[in-house]
Chains A and B, each alone.
Chain A
């Protein structure tokens, strides 16, 4: 097999069949032909424990108006995973 790309996380492709996984998770956007932006956290039992759909907000700016996504920082995601691990300990 050829050279591998060292990267801290696994980048997955939902290309063939297109949107297969996005559809399974109810995240496929038929209008755009893409997934919606979202985060899903699954615990060690295979149960969904957290989910967040990024919503686009219309925000007024000096140049007019633009859509921005609500912010979900990496720290927020890690905090949710920590919560799950804490519960698992008891």
Chain B
């Protein structure tokens, strides 16, 4: 897993409105919280 103090790996993915999201676009502007969650609301 990534370590505290490390540069966060950049990526581009699609959001729920099919818009591209690139992590590095938030640099200089916002803190970012990445929440990896699986099987949400499925009882899994």
- Which residues from chain A sit less than 8 Å from chain B, CB to CB? 1, 4-5, 7, 10-14, 20-22, 24-27, 32, 34-51, 53, 77, 81, 84-85
Asked if B33 and A41 make an inter-chain contact with CB atoms under 8 angstroms apart, the answer reads yes
Distance of A38 Cα from B1 Cα, bound (Å)? 9
Interface size range on B against A: 20 to 34
- The interface residues of chain A, by DSSP majority, are classed as mixed
How far is the CB of A60 from the nearest CB of chain B, in Å? 20
Known: A10-B16, A39-B33, A77-B33. A47 touches B1 (CB 8 A): no
Q: A26-B2, A34-B38, A48-B4 are in contact. List 14 more A-B contacts (CB 8 A).
A: A11-B16, A25-B1, A36-B36, A36-B38, A37-B36, A38-B1, A44-B27, A44-B28, A46-B7, A46-B10, A46-B24, A48-B2, A48-B5, A51-B3
